[in-house]
Structure 1
Amino acid sequence: MSRFWFALAFFVCLAALWPSDARAQRTLAFDAHQVPEGGAIAIAVAEGLPAGGSFDAIDARTGGALRRAAEADGFRGKADSRLDLRGFGGYERLLVLGTGAAGPQSPRQLEDIGGRVAQAFGKHRTPRVDLVWDGDEAGAASHLAFGAAIGQYRFDKYRSKPDEDAPADAAPGTLAIRTREGAAAGSAYRAQWQPVAEAVAFARDLSTEPGNALWPEEFVERVRTAARGLPLTLEVLDVTAMRRLDMGGILAVGQGSVRPPRLLLVRYAGGAAGEAPLAFVGKGITFDSGGISIKPNTNMWQMKGDMTGAATVVSTVLALAGRQAPVNAVAVAALAENMPSGSASRPGDVVRTASGKTFEIMSTDAEGRMVLTDALWYVQRQDRPKLVVDVATLTGAVVTALGGDYAGLFSRDDALAAQLLAAGEASGEALWRLPLRDEYGKRLESPIADLRNGGGSPGAGIGAYFIGEWVDRALPWAHLDIAGADWNDSADPTVPEGASAFGVRLLDRFVRDHHE
């Protein structure tokens, strides 16, 4: 055995023995609506501190001390404000969150409240925290719990020492959701929202893993493990199968790496037999150096997350299967590592894809659209889907245009675009529709091939147009460019700093609201 293969075998064995990711997350529990007389609790109040509810109950219990404390602190219940009291009125800790204008909270607002509470108590040394919610919104407990679950996500797998500020106890404790729905709310959460929370965590795990721990074959194995016990079928195409199908797009990207590419399909049949599935196709570049068109060193480390599109679509189908959604769906992960080497593709090379269509490589760093050509062709041929949505960290241009606040949406189908925009608004993973003009095709003309893989501006629109050339014009199709939205530089209530798993909540909501 050569030194290289021995070292690789050793690393694989070491990775298998590596301790599992300890996220220090609190267990979620559900209980009756009641304000405990002590311990650590969180409540919410509308702007103006209106009379009634848990706030008044605690204020009365403390002889008016809570309102006096709020006055002294200038707390009036404005949205996103908080009053954090330690050792107050018999409570170990009392957290009062402001919700803004009085009235029912939307599911998205409830999720933010749950996330804010989970993050606030993430390092608090107490075995139990009670979140008391006075509202009577349908499903409030599930949304509070869902927000708490995804908001308290942590990735500590590779830390040699635990966080010094974290609780010393091995068990992180419990967060009890107290609503008028009572303990019965737990069943609804576990059936409908826990699978989505777990899918978000799985996608974040994949996107956070370094390139030396996650490569195409390893991605497949992680998904295979996550799919155990779920009503899913997996299909994996290796290099031999891809060559047989003339998948020149994905092979051209992967040929510069010692780690071979893979095409992974995850199928879920929860709908009517024979009904055309929803197809979600994801870019899965497990590390993107740019290839021969190599990227600058600055922030290249972030290219370990260039497979977030694949992580998103696979995790979405895991969530659909976990909650037994009444739909048929297929996720396609186009997996490759884009590296420079003597065997790598070159600018100027002409690539023939499985569809027969050819393109000339202008930049090997425009690799995401290259792998998607064959993935899109294959799922259309094999599954005859009713629609296709592809998800990719595709361009820096969309980051320049939208920052991290929105992902770019491109589509030739107005109805599909409207559904995705609505799902983005409802889920908190916002989209902004950008133009997709036929004139972009002229900028991709090649003198020696059917088209080029890039050229000209707008860069995000040009990339979307190229991808769309491999989708049947009669098929509803949308492209989501999630570059920028895939990574949070600072935490928000439901997305801690780091990988966001952008798109899992969006696509789940898209399916719930428009296809169930």
Structure 2
Amino acid sequence: MTRTALASAALAALLLAASPGETWAQARGGQGAPQAQAASIQPRTVTFAATLPQPGGVLVLPLGAADQLDARAAGLDPATRAGIERALASARFTYAARQTLSLRGLGDWDRILVVGTGPAASGSALQWSGAVAGRALVDETGPLTVLAEGLAPDAASAFVTGMGIGHYRSDLYRTSREPVLASGGVTVVASEHEAARSAFQGRGESLIRAMTWVRDISNEPANIIYPESFVARARQAFAGVSGVTIEVLDAPTMERLGMGALTAVGRGSARPPRLLVIRYRGEGAPEGGPVVLAGKGITFDSGGITIKPGENMGNMKMDMSGAASVTGAVLALATSRAPVDVVAVSALAENMPDGNAMRPGDVLTAMNGKTIEVISTDAEGRLVLADALTWAERNLNPAAVVDVATLTGSVRTALGDDYAGLFTRHDALADQLTAAGDVTGERLWRLPLDPGYAEDTRSSIADLMASNPGVGGGAGVGAHFIGEFISRDIPWAHLDIANMAYGGANDWKPAGSAGFAVRLLEQFVRDWRPIPRGAGN
């Protein structure tokens, strides 16, 4: 089904699913919304073979050192191999990870793309190099052939998975040019092609699908993606996937449950909030309760009454990146039938300023009964997560909870764009998350969750102050606040991904969403080792 058809189906589902108290305009996304999403690039079909197909199209040649050329390109004619060797020497190619060299006019190939993988390439390095290749070839419409001879099956799968991740375009609504529809598939040539096929189909395909879903929903404009339509898109993505259950709490239900923090954030919008709960329990999953991944899902953040500056406010359509990533991680695990027990909890709201919006100085009562003084209505992400974590603890008996949020600008000041911020009271959980980040290349840096932050969230009128602009350490203060809504004996971590979730174009992605934390969380849940309750500080 094309993206246009999928978008139309999703719109129809939303209209049918509108709650009785909600207007048709709210359900359809408001006047002026595009009626259908423009078709974008389609995923290529990947096949695996022991021998080189008929020359033609683009040849992709991953190399970590000069001495790999003879074995990897053994199926090419001698003249083409010699031409590649001369070009590499002339270009002083270093074989570093993510380095590329594009050659034309050699043999019967339209183009030969050499991609450096580094001399001791890990799975993550190969996946990143593959993503660079996919990005470089995103406008190619003919067949692609990947020479993976000599790569272990998992390594070949990692490279091709990366190609699928890099083969993404964010120009979802551009009508000024014809959409590029891939007419040729990808053929991966390797002696262990059956094992490589098994590895790719067992995991790689699902990661590509999940990354595409996360980037699409994050890049969509806020007149298309809002709490109700996020839910509809998620239902569509998980349709027919075994082992999955979906629960959705609407605004009246959340109000009856006392979720006064989450519902307050959504009060200023014509589009009501939602809590989306997606559980996947695979065959062979361990006992002991699910790993809960909770995501901040602010589908647009104007700042509310504490309104943001106009510059770059349009990027706030991606303030739901945490919710998108936790949903995508579970999608990858579920569609690959991983033997895990995992739940994605998405706290969805739109933060807008109108006559019903929360105000600075308001006092809210969260689901756990704690009262919260609102200082800035632009500190809304911690409010929606407060109720999401309380709900998860009361209803899911979690083995661990990891929340993911584009929470603070201060995390960028601390870490730049190299690491996401990690906060936790549990050393064993920090170790597992950091290890998953190292394996996938989506790296985390642990920052302090100091008891002194309690003073920075002390209110003179309520139990807690939601933010304190007068103090430094904003990322830590936000993390401490969220931690007040989960019992201390439950292993819990907070990931602040505000510096990593989106940005400009680079060598492996177009401008917009990076889909950050999907691969990190997927790896973390697969490798999860139970942590005893009360093992924190």
TM-score exceeds 0.5 = yes
Aligned length: 505
1:457 & 1:274 partners in 2: Cα distance? 42
2:413 & 2:335 partners in 1: Cα distance? 36
Cα distance change of structure 1 residues 80 and 317 upon mapping to structure 2, 3 Å threshold? closer
2:354 & 2:81 partners in 1: Cα distance? 74
Q: Is the 8 A contact 1:35 1:54 kept in 2?
A: no
The Cα shift of 1:399 comes to 1.4
The Cα shift of 1:6 comes to 6.6
Cα distance change of structure 1 residues 449 and 488 upon mapping to structure 2, 3 Å threshold? same
Cα distance change of structure 1 residues 330 and 370 upon mapping to structure 2, 3 Å threshold? same
Q: AA paired with 1:425?
A: D
2:525 match = 511
1:423 & 1:272 partners in 2: Cα distance? 19
1:260 match = 272
1:65 match = 83
Q: Is the 8 A contact 2:134 2:165 kept in 1?
A: no
- The answer as to 2:163 corresponding to 1:152 is no
Instruction: Pick the aligned partner of 1:191 from 182, 193, 202.
Output: 202
- The answer as to 2:301 corresponding to 1:291 is no
1:198 & 1:347 partners in 2: Cα distance? 41
1:39 & 1:268 partners in 2: Cα distance? 40
Q: AA paired with 1:442?
A: E
1:212 match = 223
1:91 match = 109
Q: Deviations over 1:29-86 (max 9, x none)?
A: 2222548655421213334456632346647334833333333333343443333221
2:118 & 2:38 partners in 1: Cα distance? 40
2:374 match = 361
Q: AA paired with 1:464?
A: A
Q: Deviations over 1:388-419 (max 9, x none)?
A: 00000000100111122211000000010011
Q: AA paired with 1:187?
A: S
Q: Deviations over 1:308-357 (max 9, x none)?
A: 11111112112221111112111111111111111111111111111011
2:347 match = 334
SS at the partner of 2:454?
Answer: helix
Q: AA paired with 2:502?
A: W
2:95 match = 77
Q: AA paired with 1:181?
A: E
1:119 match = 135
Q: Deviations over 1:124-175 (max 9, x none)?
A: 34x2111102323241232122101111111333111326xx76xx444212
SS at the partner of 2:104?
Answer: strand
2:92 & 2:53 partners in 1: Cα distance? 24
Q: 1:8-87 maps to which residues of 2 (within 5 A)?
A: 18-19=36-37, 21-34=39-52, 37-49=55-67, 52-55=70-73, 58=76, 60-62=78-80, 64-87=82-105
The alignment-based identity, stated in percent, is: 46
Q: Is the 8 A contact 2:363 2:462 kept in 1?
A: yes
Q: Deviations over 1:260-281 (max 9, x none)?
A: 1111111112255863111111
- The answer as to 2:512 corresponding to 1:501 is no
Q: 1:103-182 maps to which residues of 2 (within 5 A)?
A: 103=120, 105-125=121-141, 127-162=142-177, 170-182=181-193
SS at the partner of 2:297?
Answer: strand
The Cα shift of 1:24 comes to 4.3
Cα distance change of structure 1 residues 309 and 38 upon mapping to structure 2, 3 Å threshold? closer
- The answer as to 2:394 corresponding to 1:381 is yes
Cα distance change of structure 1 residues 19 and 288 upon mapping to structure 2, 3 Å threshold? closer
Residue segments in structure 2 that go unaligned for 5+ positions in a row: 1-21, 531-537
- Which stretch of the first structure deviates more once superposed, 40-49 or 341-350? 40-49
2:118 & 2:223 partners in 1: Cα distance? 46
SS at the partner of 2:448?
Answer: coil
The Cα shift of 1:95 comes to 1.9
- The answer as to 2:227 corresponding to 1:223 is no
Report the TM-score, using the length of structure 1 for normalisation: 0.92
SS at the partner of 1:88?
Answer: coil
- The answer as to 2:257 corresponding to 1:239 is no
Q: Is the 8 A contact 2:147 2:188 kept in 1?
A: yes
Q: AA paired with 1:432?
A: W
1:437 & 1:508 partners in 2: Cα distance? 28
Q: Is the 8 A contact 1:41 1:130 kept in 2?
A: yes
- Which stretch of the first structure deviates more once superposed, 12-21 or 148-157? 12-21
SS at the partner of 1:333?
Answer: strand
SS at the partner of 2:452?
Answer: helix
1:214 & 1:84 partners in 2: Cα distance? 38
2:357 match = 344
Q: Deviations over 1:195-250 (max 9, x none)?
A: 12211111111111111111111111111111110121111111111111111101
Q: AA paired with 1:342?
A: G
Instruction: Pick the aligned partner of 1:302 from 298, 306, 315.
Output: 315
Residue segments in structure 1 that go unaligned for 5+ positions in a row: none
Q: Is the 8 A contact 2:26 2:271 kept in 1?
A: no
1:435 & 1:10 partners in 2: Cα distance? 44
1:483 & 1:254 partners in 2: Cα distance? 21
SS at the partner of 2:527?
Answer: helix
SS at the partner of 2:268?
Answer: coil
Cα distance change of structure 1 residues 235 and 69 upon mapping to structure 2, 3 Å threshold? closer
- Which stretch of the first structure deviates more once superposed, 302-311 or 180-189? 180-189
- Which stretch of the first structure deviates more once superposed, 83-92 or 223-232? 83-92
Runs of 4+ displaced beyond 4 Å: 4-17, 35-39, 48-51, 55-59, 271-274
1:63 & 1:477 partners in 2: Cα distance? 54
Q: AA paired with 2:46?
A: L
Q: Is the 8 A contact 1:358 1:449 kept in 2?
A: yes
1:124 & 1:225 partners in 2: Cα distance? 29
Let me know the Cα RMSD of the aligned residues.
2.4
2:35 & 2:125 partners in 1: Cα distance? 40
Q: Is the 8 A contact 1:45 1:55 kept in 2?
A: no
Q: Deviations over 1:350-399 (max 9, x none)?
A: 11111011111111100000111111001100011011000000001001
2:14 match = none
2:324 & 2:491 partners in 1: Cα distance? 22
